[in-house]
Amino acid sequence: MTKVSGEVAKQMKKCMIDAVWTAAYNRWGYKHFVSYREAEYKSKFETDCKKFKDLASGVLSGSVCDDIKWMFWNAAWGAANEQQNEFFWVWG
């Protein structure tokens, strides 16, 4: 098994945080504020994932980096959707 460096791991963390904030702003943000912040974090997500892919190029293949990127994205949106459904089920 190949280990990634601490720098690559920190960059992976940034990608995940960007994905979470994108989903959170979409689901919970104020209507006039959402599109700006969501777009900001979506852009950061793409930029940080590209940097992650570049940093990990000697350790992980491009397709594995892409899989990790979309795993983060799908996990963030899955959690946001689940939380929103819980909220509306209780308060709806």
pLDDT at 38: 79
13-35 pLDDT tens trace: 999 999 998 888 787 765 556 66
pLDDT at 39 over 90: no
Structural domain boundaries in the chain: 6-91
pTM for the whole structure: 0.81
Residue 55 makes CB contacts below 8 A (sequence gap 6+) with: 5, 7, 8, 11
44-83 pLDDT tens trace: 999 999 999 999 999 999 999 999 999 999 999 999 888 7
Look up residue 2 and give its DSSP letter.
P
